[in-house]
Amino acid sequence: MDCVPDIPFGFALPGAQPPDPNDPQQMQQFMAQLQQLLASPGTGPVNWDLARQVAVSQLSPAGDPAVNPFDRNAVDEALRLADLWLEPTSALPSGIHTSVAWNRNEWIYNTLPVWKKLCDPVAGRMVAAMGDLVPPEARAQLGPMQSMVATLGGALFGGQLGQALGSLAAEVLSAGDIGLPLGPAGTAALVPANINQYGKGLELPLDEVRLYVALREAAHQRLFEHVPWLRGHVLTAVEMYAAGITVNREAIEEAMGRVDPMNPESMQAIVLEGIFTPEDTPAQKASLARLETALALVEGWVCHVVDSAAGERLPNVARLGEAFRRRRAAGGPAEQTFAALVGLELRPRRLREAAALWAALTEHRGIAGRDALWGHPDLLPSGDDFADPEGYARSQLDLGNLDDLL
């Protein structure tokens, strides 16, 4: 694991002793760290350098086992076999250009570009709200101090976002585990340490668990690699929902009111959860519906084709399928922390209905006809269609030959 320097505010060291304000040496060290932080705020509303440092240091208690040659070979073999099994169950060809086994730190590093895209707009509103706490008549007098407020806001958000990402990194099983295209395009990635831990909890053979995770990852890669508009469609749905999240200025004021610049422990205690809340407006409800539908359609398709591919091959496929559906529908502790921090829930609430809809389409239109619906976003089922999968599937028989759209 990378060597991580000391981090201001003790963000990633819960339970550790903060610097003693009465100890000149500790305070000098802390102020030097703070000065360094303020001197390199980054280029956006989030201090992503700090976020990554915090995320990596968050892994220290649990450790970050290196990927050994056995794990790497096992991942390669599982992904290769998974792609073969998916061939007869999907009209979309393989989307895997590169197979990799990541440790937890590598998952953080390789998914940061997408997290930046998703989180910067929300963080920007928080930083702006912090600046608005300063009375208008005082802003002109503050001058350069205004940029310090923004820098502090970016550091606070970066530190706590880093904690959430570090927790996620200790749970995720693959690059596509939470339904978003987080990794580089065409790169299928599994996280062996987390798969081993998850498999022990299920009390199932590790090779079966690994292969089931590989099937899900390979299915995600087929979808996002060969449906060109899908990556942008899903990420735009997330961004549109995030655009309707409002900042609770009272919560920010209360949090900042607890800061004593001479007491590092007060900075350690700042909690940003609850600052972001969705607007209760028709537009925001429509954005939420689009996001939930997009996530459910992706996850429902993946669940259906994976269970079809593994149905007669994996002895415990029923238990694995149910465990993964529950896991995705409920979200783990890290996902819940992330949702509380930035106001975004990444759970496909209607996963079972979406899977039933894709199964009905397979029955009535066949595999090629089912997957042809990915040819254009206007062809996809809407949230209303989830209520009657059989009716929707039968209605598609009247649309002619959609197979040419693939």
Q: Which residues share a beta bridge with 346?
A: none
Quote the DSSP letter at residue 263: -
Residue 50 to residues 42, 56, 157, Cα–Cα distance (Å):
9, 10, 9
327 close to 195: Cβ distance less than 8 angstroms? no
- Per-residue pLDDT of 277-322, as tens digits, reads 666 678 877 877 888 888 889 989 999 999 999 988 999 999 999 8
Closest CA relative to residue 332, chosen from 202, 182, 215, 178: 178
Question: How far, CA to CA in Å, does 27 sit from each of 24, 148, 257?
Answer: 5, 20, 21
- Nearest residue to 173 (alpha-carbon basis) of 12, 297, 324, 349: 324
pLDDT of 17: 43
Per-residue confidence (pLDDT) for residue 115, from 0 to 100: 87
Cβ-Cβ contacts under 8 Å for 63 (sequence gap 6 or more): none
Q: Report d(CA 55, CA 295) in Å as an integer.
A: 26
Strand ranges inside 153-302, DSSP E: 187-190, 245-247, 276-278
Q: List the domain boundaries for the chain.
A: 46-349, 352-406
Looking at residue 72, what is its pLDDT?
97
What pLDDT score was predicted for residue 139? 54
Which of 159, 163, 183 lies closest to 49 in space, CA to CA? 159
Distances in whole angstroms, Cα of residue 246 to Cα of each of 95, 165, 249, 281, 362: 38, 22, 9, 11, 41
Burial state string for 103-113 with b = 16 or more CB within 10 A and e = fewer than 16? bbbbbbbbbbe
DSSP state of 188: E
Q: What is the pLDDT of residue 360?
A: 95
Regions of the chain where pLDDT drops below 50: 1-18, 264, 400-406
CATH fold of 46-349: Lysin (1.20.150)
Distance CA 146, CA 136 (A): 11
Contact call for residues 217 and 223 (beta carbons, < 8 A) = no
